[in-house]
Structure 1
Amino acid sequence: MGNIIYHYCNVESFKAIIENKTLWLSSVYNLNDYKEIHWIKDKIFKKIKTSSTKDNFLKYKCFEELYSKQLPNVYIASFSEGSDLLSQWRAYANDGYGVAIGFNSDYFKENNMVQTSSVLYDEESQEKQIDLILKPLEQLDNEIDTQSIQFNEICKAIITDINNLSAKSKNELFKEEQEVRLIHNPKITDDKKNKRFIFEDNLSQMMFRSVCGNLIPYFELKFDEEKQTPAILEIIKGPKNKFIEEEVKIFLSNNGFYCVDIKSSKSSYR
C-alpha cells in the first residue's frame, strides 16, 4: 500500500469533508453492494458444513447459531490506491465532476481506534484466513459445555475476526477498484438492566443520517493539520471537474490545508 489513498466523492461531499475536517465511517450493512457482507459469511457456513461430523456437530451448531445472531459492529470508510480510475469517477465522483481526496495513510496509523487495510480479493488467501480464524474452534474439545463462559468468549473472539475479514474482503471481480478501507470496531453492549446501550472504544457518538427511507448509523473520524503528519497530501480533479485551481487552493488554505497539491485527471472521459 502506498502512502496516499484516495477518497472519490462529489463536490458537495468534498466541501463538507474539508470544512468539517471529518470522515464518516458507516456500518458494513449499508455498503452500496449489500452482497459484500455475505461474501465471507457464505464461505464460513460452507466451511462449517464440511467440518461438521457426528462427534463435533453440537460445537459447530452452537457456534453457527451465535454467529448468525450477532450483527457485526464494523464501520468503514472506503478509499482506493488508484488516483485516476475511470470506474471510481463514474461510481463515486458524480460521473467525473467530483474529486479524489488524497489522504496520507500514515496519518491514520496514529489513531489506535482505526485500522487501515487493503481489500483482499484473492479467494485462496481468503480461504487461508478463514482456516486460521476457525482453528481455535476446531481445537476446542468436542465435549465442551457450549453454555459456558469459556465457549462464548472464544466464539465472540472468532466472530470478531470473521467480521473484520468480511469488512476487508470482496469478490475478485472488483479487483480493479484497488480498494483500501479504514475499519472501526466499537464495542456496543446492550445494558438491559439500565435500559441503554454502552459504547466503548468508539471514535464518536453513534450518529444517524436518513437515506431513502432508512436510518444509516455512522461514526465520525476527525482529522486536522495540527499534527506533524499531514492528513491530506493532494487533490485530484475529476475529468469533468470545473474547479479553478487558484480558487481551490484558497478554499483549502482557508480551512487549514495550505500545502496540498492540486492535480487534474489524465482521463479523456467526457
Structure 2
Amino acid sequence: MEESKYIVYHYCDLNAFLNIMYSKKFWLSDVKKSNDDDEGKYLLKKLQAYIDVANLADNNIKREWIEKAHQFVADYIGKKDQRMFIPKGYNYEGLLEIQKELKKNLEQDEVLDFNLEEVELTKEQLEQEKNCWKMLEEERRDFGNNLNPGDIYKTDKFDTPIYTICFSGNGDLLSQWRGYAKDGTGVSIGFKTKYLEKWKSAIFNKKINLIARFDKVNYVDYDMEYLLQLKSRNLINYAKEILGETNEEMILLGKLAVEQELDEIAEKSIFYKNELFQEEDEYRLIYCDSMRCKEGKFIHNLNGRKQIQNSIKDFKLSEMKYRVGSEGIVSYFELSFEPIADEIIGEIILGPKCKMTTAEVEFLLSSWGYNCLGNNTYDQRSIYIHHSDLSYR
C-alpha cells in the first residue's frame, strides 16, 4: 500500500450513491462476472508463457510434458468439467464397485470400458451388488434414459467466486466518470484507506481458504517472475510423473498437487491486471468465500466465516444474497461499514455532468446522520463535498 494514498474513490451513479450512503453498505460482487474475461486469470494465463520458456531453457524436457502442463492450466481455467452421475442414496465408491462387478460378469461387447482395476469380492458382496444395480436400473426409469448411473458426463465447471468492490486512487478521472458514473452524472465517494485496510483476515486449512483483503492492483508482474518460473517447472515435473505413473491413487495425488500449485497463482491473480489498465490506479477490497464443489456437493464453512467476522470489528458481512443481473442470477455479499460510518468517508466529488449542488448533498447526508457541517458553519467538516474540476459535456 502506498503511504501517500490517504483516500481511494468508488465511482457510481446516483442510484448506487443513495444505496451506499443510506444503507452504509458496500455490495461485494463476483469479480469474474465483469466484462473483462481475464479477471482473476491474468497470472494463470501468463503462466502458460512461462511453461514454454522453461521448455526452451532445458533440452531434456519432452514435448509431451509441456503439453500436459499446458493442459493442467487450461483445464483449471476452463469452462467444462467431468463428473460421475450418482443417484441419491449411493456414493462414488459404492458405484465403482458395482461397475467393477458388471465388468467381470457381462459380455465385453455389452460393457463400457471403465478402465477400472479388478477387485476380489465375496459371494455375499457380489449378490448384494447385483441387487444394488437392479435397484439403480429401476430408479433410472424415474429420471429418463439419457444417463445411466455411473455415466461420466460433461458439465459447466464450478468457478469459486471472488467477491469485490473496486476503487481508484484518482477521484476525478474522465475515463472513470464515463465508465462507472453514468457518463459523468454520478459521483465518486472517497473512502479513507486506513479504515479499508482493517478489512484483512485469512484462514487456511486443508478444507477452506477464506480471504478478506484490501490492496492495490499491480500492472506489472516482474515481482511475480520468480513464482511463475517456479510454478511452471513444478507443473512440468508433475506432468512427467503423472504421464509415467500407472497407479491410479498416485495419479490422483499428483493431480491434487497440481491444483494446489494453481490455487496459489489464482489467489494472487486477483490483484494483477494488464498494464493497459494502469490509468485506473485500481484498489480492491475482496472477500473469497469458502464455497467449493467437491464430489457433487457445494460446501460452505460457516465457522470459518464467523472467525473472520469476529476478527474484523469495523465491518459486518451479510449472508450470501442473490440478485438478477445481465449475467443471470448472481450472488453477492453486503458489507456494512456502519460502525465506522462517521470516520471512513472523507470526500465526495460530484461528476462533471452531475446536476446536484453541494448543499443538496450536505442536506441529504445530514438527514441520514452523517456529520457534514459540524456544530456550526466554522467547524471542520468531516466530509469534503465539491464538484469535479473537469470540463466535460
Residue 12 (str. 1) matches residue 20 (str. 2)? no
Q: Is structure 2 residue 76 aligned with structure 1 residue 67?
A: yes
Partner of 1:182: 285
Report matched runs for 1:152-167 at 5 Å. 152=256, 154-167=257-270
| Match in the other structure for 1:120 | 218
The equivalent residue for 2:36 is: 33
Whether 2:21 is the aligned partner of 1:21: answer no
CA deviation string 1:18-71 (max 9, x = no partner): 111111122122113224444333212232344463399298468437624662
Give the drift of 1:207: 1.9
Letter of the structure 1 residue corresponding to residue 42 of structure 2: W
Change (3 A) 1:114 1:147: same
C-alpha contact (below 8 Å) 2:44/2:262 kept by paired residues: no
Aligned to 1:266: 389
Name the stretch that deviates more: 16-25 or 156-165: 156-165
The verdict on how the C-alpha distance between 1:90 and 1:125 changes in structure 2, with shifts beyond 3 A counting, is same
Q: Given the superposition, is the C-alpha separation of residues 117 and 47 from structure 1 closer, same or farther in structure 2, using an over 3 Å criterion? A: same
Q: Does the CA-based 8 Å contact 2:235-2:258 persist in structure 1?
A: yes
Partner of 1:147: 252
How many residue pairs get aligned? The number is: 266
Deviation at 1:132, TM superposition (A): 5.5
Secondary structure class of the residue paired with 2:48: helix
Q: Is the 8 A contact 2:54 2:229 kept in 1?
A: no
* Displacement of 1:131: 3.2
> Who is 2:173 aligned against?
85
Closer, same or farther: CA 211–135 of 1 in aligned 2, 3 Å: same
- After TM superposition, the structure 1 stretch with the greater mean CA deviation from structure 2, 214-223 or 177-186, is 214-223
Which deviates further from its counterpart, 201-210 or 90-99?
A: 201-210
Structure with greater Cα Rg: 2
Query: Which letter does structure 2 place at the counterpart of 1:158?
Result: E
CA distance change for structure 1 residues 43 and 211 in 2, over 3 Å: closer, same or farther?
same
Question: Which residue is 2:183 aligned to?
Answer: 95
1:220 counterpart = 2:329:
no
Deviations 1:89-133 (A, max 9, x none): 111111111100001122122222521121111243454453366
SS in 2 for 1:187: coil
Contact kept? 2:197, 2:213, Cα under 8 Å:
yes
Of 343, 347, 350, the match for 1:230: 343
CA distance in 1, matches of 2:224, 2:298: 37
Cα-to-partner distance string for 1:148-172 (whole Å, 9 max, x where unaligned):
2x862x4444333322332222221
Q: Is the 8 A contact 1:108 1:114 kept in 2?
A: no
Shift of residue 174 of structure 1? 1.3
1:64 and 1:89 map into 2 onto residues whose CA distance is 36
Q: Which amino acid aligns with 1:54?
A: K
Taking a change above 3 Å as real, the CA distance of residues 159 and 185 of structure 1, as seen in their structure-2 partners, is farther
Identity of aligned residues (%): 34
Report the equivalent of 1:54: 62
Contact 1:62/1:146 (<8 A) preserved: no
Assess, with a 3 A threshold, how the Cα gap between structure 1 residues 247 and 41 changes in structure 2: closer, same or farther. Answer: same
Q: TM-score, normalised by structure 2?
A: 0.59
Cα RMSD after superposing both structures: 3.1
* Structure-1 separation of matches of 2:180 and 2:31: 17
Residues 183-220 of structure 1: per-residue CA shift (max 9 Å, x gap): 21111133668x65424445432222212362222222
CA–CA distance in structure 2, aligned partners of residues 35 and 179 of structure 1: 15
Q: Which runs of 5+ in 2 are unaligned?
A: 56-60, 78-156, 202-210, 243-249, 306-316, 372-381
Give the letter for the 1:198 counterpart.
Answer: H
